[in-house]
Amino acid sequence: MTDTIAPRLALAKELAQEAGQLAQRMRAQQDGSFSREKGHQDFVTEADVAVETLIRQRIAAAFADDGLLGEEEGHSGSDNALWVVDPIDGTTNYMRGLADWGVSIAFCRDGRVELGVIYAPDLDLLVWARREQGAYIGENPARTAEGTPLDQAVLLLGRSARTSVDDYLSLLKRLIESGLEYRRNGSAAISLAAVALGQVDGFYEAHLNAWDAAAGLLIVEEAGGRSDCGDLDAFLSGGGPVFASAAGLHHEIGALLSVGAEAD
């Protein structure tokens, strides 16, 4: 049987790096019209649009029958063979010269994510996975943290303007009282990569869109962790809560977060 995922993975790895380097060049050449505000503290830059256009063109040239769901231009084409792309995840970080931003590319077929690639240009970090074949940093295996006690764990958090401030503050209170440390870096993709690499023990955000997290969720799973985003079709169409962690802490952290079956 022909392996149809391998050429897509090769393209995704090449394209994520090419796209990230384009974004770096455009940032270096920016002027006053480089960005505009979509919502409160939610920005889009000329680079977001240019990077997604590049990715769309390259994928269409290589796999004309595939569909694509992207942050800037929405959904086009097939649902059964679907690329899910965030051209720049962490746009505010990118604009301000912070390193935690990256290109996120996933490919889904028949209701499951088959590959995920995250490239962080300022960190020179390429993290990727293929379903049932493991996760990698460059060409070296990536593994989530193991054996961390809850009171020594570190959780990365996202904050969505689409969710309640009171709920977020209540969550912070529970985390502080538990002894669990938390950080917020402004990029779901980079946060999920950090979980996969064992740099932190988990990541949670109450609402993300599929392009923010589809690649990272698979990478965490293939690195030995666990991830939750609910039903994939619903997540692709409207987003939802995202929780990923080292396997050994999934129940304990999930209970603190009051998410999924872990909260029962």
Q: What is the DSSP letter of 159?
A: -
55 is in an annotated binding site: no
Q: Known binder of ligand: residue 86?
A: yes
Return d(Cα 11, Cα 22) in angstroms, integer.
Answer: 16
Q: Cα-flanking dihedrals φ and ψ of residue 150, to 5°?
A: -55, -40
Tell me if 146 is assigned to a ligand binding site.
no
Q: Is 59 flagged in the annotation as binding?
A: no
Identify the H or E element spanning 76: strand 74-76
Establish whether 228 is an annotated binding residue: no
User: What DSSP letter does each residue of 126-190 carry, written as one string?
Assistant: EEEEETTS-EEETTEE-----S--GGG-EEEE---TTS-HHHHHHHHHHHHHHT-EEE--S-HHH
What gap in Å lies between CA 103 and CA 23, rounded to an integer? Answer: 9
Which residues are documented as binding site for Mg(2+)?
Answer: 71, 86, 88-89, 212
Which residues are documented as binding site?
Answer: 71, 86, 88-89, 212
